[in-house]
A and B are shown apart, each in its own frame.
Chain A
């Protein structure tokens, strides 16, 4: 009995066991099914997140090519289509993409350090939405030195100088977070961060801009006409290239280095000099310096006005005109171009114009001139913190001039006894470059009759030594061996004047007629004011890593100490800076990071008026691009040996194109002269400065990926 009862229960036990087993199967099936799909979803997250991150990388590089200074500061919803939206705000970028099936993905990029305004990131702290990731991207494209890549902690980069690694000079470090999942299904541009669960990937790429050398055709100096340097006794003309490349100097005319006493100067560098006739008029070691012929079809670096980054006419503006500082610290405004002003003020030396600054305060004068946010004025000092456009006035004034009341002479004044001597070269230079004035000057004049019969040639042949460069075939008909050979023509004219072609009195009066006597920029009003360019300052102080550009439709004349980093001055006329530089022996690190671009000539003078008719030229160490459609003239020394000469140093690129680069190579060598009169000359090629003045990145500049990291 007992056994049978036990046997009956075994069926129930077996059934229950089987039920448990079946329940386990069912449970497993229920668990495994969704997990299999979940695994697929997870793979989708990785792939879609990665694609989103790579898309963000593409977007960022596209923006950098468009604007080399880009840091995610486009100012709101910059792209708005049905399936792709991008918000850029204060150094943050959100991109939201929808695939055809409606699935969504997002990329996010952060540039803002959120550590106070302009503290290593060139950005102000954001007042809008932020991206809560620790990875920050760095745009180091315009910077010539490496930069730390920091990480944020608790939303901020406490110390921008602390990081595990660096982004090289002229490179980008772009870190993009790619996201997918339910949290990015919808996108609100006003609140662009995900709302819900997300998964994805973080990718980092470091990209170095390459082909920069090609950009500037690898030459530190390019002159369409001659390149002439006059140095101090036994001083050197040196050229080098950043990174150890072969430094080059290119001229479609000649290259001549001499010393102030007339002896041949020394070109002391390894590298190559290209000239029109493959000669170098200087002392040099042929084992170090190669001299080759400049090929007719080799282009110079062509930076057109349209390619240039200029101040926006609709942005911050200052009225065009002449701003004059008086001894009492008042600033006087005249609605006149400099030429009109100098003529007017010589006749009316006490005219006070419109006082726009007095008592240490900007008053704006009777017309109520206002100061733009990017311009700060203090007594005898102007500070430019951002782009500034010189707005032409209703009266038609387009120039921008800042000078002391007595003017800012580019050279020490000539003693009156020396005026006749100075008139020859000045007039020769003027006539050589002005065919109309030249024709008028020679009309009706005869040669000296020294030439062959029927050819009253003036034996003026300083270049060739055999054939005359100027001759007269009959009264009033003058011919030139090569009217487009600017320097040869100038030398021949000087030679003719030296030989007494016109009397000293006539030479002086003619030169005076053309305004060629006396130092350029010297008003000499006799007001008793003693303020000089040395007492005035124009400082460019853009936020760290950013640039400040002063742009004018007319000429720019600055008679003040020019200081700055990341500064650019662009002029549709000529550009003259008097008072730049410093005594490098006293302040060895004084450097001026100033790019200069002018459609006209660029003149740079470092003359310092020491008082009591004592003068000296300061040194200057320029870092940047100097680009002129006309001539470049660095006045840092003169014929007077008692006036201390200044040293000229340029790290960047110097181009005297000689015409509008948009039209290609100039037809002749009339313009594009480089003239440097200094104690010594040091040129260092660094094409990277071009990046800071370009509106967009040239097509031939490519990005080489040097690092690629996936963080999750």
Chain B
């Protein structure tokens, strides 16, 4: 009986140790994956928010340029293209999204008031300047482009 009990107890200890090891490895893997999943979700949310910022700012820029007021329209088409058309920071949740809208002439060969410009927007977050990366987070920049036409009060 005693021998028999010992055999059973030793087996249980080995079994327990094996089980604990397995659980530990699995738990650590789970925790690691959880962090990855959380990071991915955060990045996805950040990209989505950045897209919304980009879309909003591009739409605002196009509306301002194409329609009203006239002074805004004229200012855009008379302005030097060296400076950004607009820039700023928008906070969504705990994240600051910095953006910059730049304009470039498109060489269409057309004359005023039928010129075309390309608007580029860059949105960046969790970094000081666009183009920076973050370990585990990758690129922290989103950008998009849109064309805008010169003629006034003729929006699409």
Q: Do the two shown chains form a genuine complex with each other?
A: yes
- B8/A702 in contact, CB under 8 A: no
- A37/B43 in contact, CB under 8 A: yes
- A59/B116 in contact, CB under 8 A: yes
Given the complex, which residues of B lie within 8 Å of A394, measured CB to CB? none
The 8 Å CB contact of B107, one of A22, A26, A81, is A81
CA distance A62 to B148 in the complex (A): 10
- B30/A99 in contact, CB under 8 A: no
Q: Which A80-135 residues sit within 8 Å CB-CB of chain B?
A: 81, 83-84, 97-101, 103, 105
Given the complex, which residues of B lie within 8 Å of A47, measured CB to CB? 51, 54-55, 144
CA distance A66 to B33 in the complex (A): 57
Given the complex, which residues of B lie within 8 Å of A63, measured CB to CB? 108
CA distance A11 to B147 in the complex (A): 67
CA distance A703 to B120 in the complex (A): 26
- A26/B33 in contact, CB under 8 A: yes
Using A54-B146, A81-B106 as known contacts, say yes or no to A43 and B36 having CB atoms under 8 A apart.
no
Does A610 have its Cβ within 8 Å of any Cβ on chain B?
no
CA distance A74 to B33 in the complex (A): 54
Using A62-B116, A101-B143 as known contacts, say yes or no to A8 and B107 having CB atoms under 8 A apart.
no
- B110/A101 in contact, CB under 8 A: no
Produce 1/0 per residue, B109-146, CB < 8 A to A: 11001111010111000000011000000010111111
Given the complex, which residues of B lie within 8 Å of A29, measured CB to CB? 30, 33-34, 36-37
- Interface size class on chain B is 35 or more
State the Cβ distance, A47 to closest chain B Cβ, in Å: 5
Question: Considering only CB atoms and an 8 Å cut-off, how many residues of chain A contact the other chain?
Answer: 54
Given the complex, which residues of B lie within 8 Å of A97, measured CB to CB? 118, 145, 147
Does B41 have its Cβ within 8 Å of any Cβ on chain A?
yes
State the Cβ distance, A60 to closest chain B Cβ, in Å: 9
Does A36 have its Cβ within 8 Å of any Cβ on chain B?
yes
- B156/A51 in contact, CB under 8 A: no
How many inter-chain contacts with C-beta < 8 Å in the A-B complex? 162
Does B154 have its Cβ within 8 Å of any Cβ on chain A?
yes
Given the complex, which residues of B lie within 8 Å of A61, measured CB to CB? 149, 154, 156
Does A705 have its Cβ within 8 Å of any Cβ on chain B?
yes
Given the complex, which residues of B lie within 8 Å of A103, measured CB to CB? 143-144
User: Looking across the interface, which residue of chain A has its beta carbon closest to that of B148?
Assistant: A58
Does A696 have its Cβ within 8 Å of any Cβ on chain B?
yes
- A65/B114 in contact, CB under 8 A: yes
The 8 Å CB contact of B22, one of A4, A15, A57, A83, is A15
Given the complex, which residues of B lie within 8 Å of A207, measured CB to CB? 156
The 8 Å CB contact of B146, one of A18, A55, A100, is A55
State the Cβ distance, A695 to closest chain B Cβ, in Å: 11
Given the complex, which residues of A lie within 8 Å of B18, measured CB to CB? 15
State the Cβ distance, A174 to closest chain B Cβ, in Å: 9
Does A419 have its Cβ within 8 Å of any Cβ on chain B?
no
Q: Which A433-471 residues sit within 8 Å CB-CB of chain B?
A: none
Most buried by A among B51, B121, B153: B51
User: Looking across the interface, which residue of chain A has its beta carbon closest to that of B29?
Assistant: A26
Q: What are 18 A-B pairs with beta-carbon distances under 8 A?
A: A15-B15, A22-B23, A22-B30, A32-B41, A36-B37, A36-B40, A37-B44, A51-B144, A61-B149, A65-B110, A81-B104, A84-B118, A99-B143, A100-B145, A101-B131, A101-B141, A103-B143, A699-B113
Q: Name 15 extra pairs, CB < 8 A, besides A11-B15, A703-B156.
A: A11-B19, A19-B23, A22-B26, A22-B29, A26-B29, A29-B36, A32-B41, A39-B48, A55-B145, A58-B148, A61-B154, A62-B115, A100-B130, A101-B139, A703-B154
B residues near A (Cβ < 8 Å) are 8, 11-12, 15-16, 18-19, 22-23, 26-27, 29-30, 33-34, 36-37, 40-41, 43-45, 47-48, 51, 54-55, 58, 102, 104, 106-110, 113-116, 118, 120-122, 130-131, 139, 141-149, 151, 153-156
List of 8 A-B pairs having minimum Cβ-Cβ separation, nearest first: A55-B147, A22-B26, A29-B33, A33-B40, A99-B143, A15-B19, A101-B143, A40-B44
